[in-house]
Amino acid sequence: MRVAVTGGGGFLGSHLCETLLRRGDSVVCLDNFSTGDPANIAHLLSHPAFEFQHADVSVAVEVAGRVDAVAHLASPASPPDYLRQPLETLAVGSRGTENALRLALRDDARFILASTSEIYGDPLVHPQEESYWGNVNSIGPRSVYDEAKRYAEALSAAYHRTHGLDVGIARIFNTYGPRMRPHDGRVVSSFITQALTGEPLTIYGDGTQTRSFCYVDDLVRGLVALLDSNRLGPFNLGNPVERTVSDLAEIVLTMTGSRSEVKYHPLPVDDPIRRRPVITLAREVLGWEPEIDITEGLGRTVAYFAARPDQLAVSAAAIRGCQSETVPPAAAPVPATPPQTIPGPAAASVALAAAAPEPSPSGG
């Protein structure tokens, strides 16, 4: 199977590309690295079944040759990213989604949308199952991401009803693991970065707000199961084990042996108080559920971060005092951007050190 993955250079996208190649699929990866990182896919460039295109999917999605499936993951996904790029986030959720849908329609291919638990907003129903319509502030600071994904779901469902396109929708809950950027402002990456560099762990609110953390390998298995099915969904994909933010901080401090203190700050606007998925549908229809517990998953993630001390030091300075989900962090070093198109067989000889342009819509 030949699969086009938009946002394939991002955290989730790169893991999905890797998993698809491992099982024998061919992959066309599209990204402009507005939030992704060329290093995430550097080890894939020499793979004969891997193709890379530097592309802004909000402008166009052009793939030569037939594709059997399209996985649309392109979008800023961490709050600081979409707060820093509000118009780009809305563009990739609207125009970018339609461009990806048109590619799938061209080849009568399976299309899966990486949506988000953020479509539930600050939920009034707990835990959240797919039948819940959500509680979203449509003009709040987080709305650029929430409403972009809600629109993307509506558009994908409309293509399914109008054109008979084979669509699947995944609502992804908090996911963590290797290849997260230390400066992305998400709670797992921030806590690990702060703990390893001796910075205070920043908790917004009183720490009793909850999240459900799913390790990236588990999440990608869910995406592949959805890709291989013919079901629309939407399907919640996430870990149903609910933990407070304070509990997570304690786990990270214990695991790293850090003596960092914990500092509390006011809760950001529209920050969800409780978040836990009901995954009954994914269990029964896709045969999927998480397998990796938080101790094992965080251990792998801490090891990944600890192996990059220089990057940690820069990232710690970038997020210092700016971990709030309504305050974009200071700009971290922008990754290099590879040439416009890199076919797999020739990719090993291509350097990834070209000067990077200003970020534009799309990305991982």
Active-site residues: which are they?
A: 145
362 burial via Cβ count (<10 Å: 0-12, 13-18, 19+): buried
Residue with tokens 């959720």: 93
Those residues whose C-beta lies under 8 Å from the C-beta of residue 330, and which sit 6 or more positions away, are 317, 318, 319, 322
Region of residue 36 (left: phi > 0; alpha: psi -120 to 50; beta: else): beta
In single-letter form, the type of residue at position 182 comes to P
Tally Cβ neighbours within 10 Å of residue 23. 9
DSSP assignment of 72-140, as one string? E--S--SHHHHHHSHHHHHHIIIIIHHHHHHHHHHTT-EEEEEEEGGGGBS-SSSSB-TT---B--TTS
Tally Cβ neighbours within 10 Å of residue 293. 12
CA 362 – CA 114 distance, rounded (Å):
13
CA 194 – CA 201 distance, rounded (Å):
6
Intra-chain end-to-end CA distance of the chain, in Å: 22
Q: Given the DSSP bridges, would you call strands 210-211 and 167-172 parallel, antiparallel or unpaired?
A: unpaired
DSSP state of 65: S
Contact criterion met (CB below 8 Å) for 175 and 12:
yes
CA 204 – CA 148 distance, rounded (Å):
25
Tally Cβ neighbours within 10 Å of residue 190. 27
Instruction: Please work out, in degrees rounded to the nearest 5, the angle formed at the alpha carbon of residue 135 by the alpha carbons of 133 and 138.
Output: 110
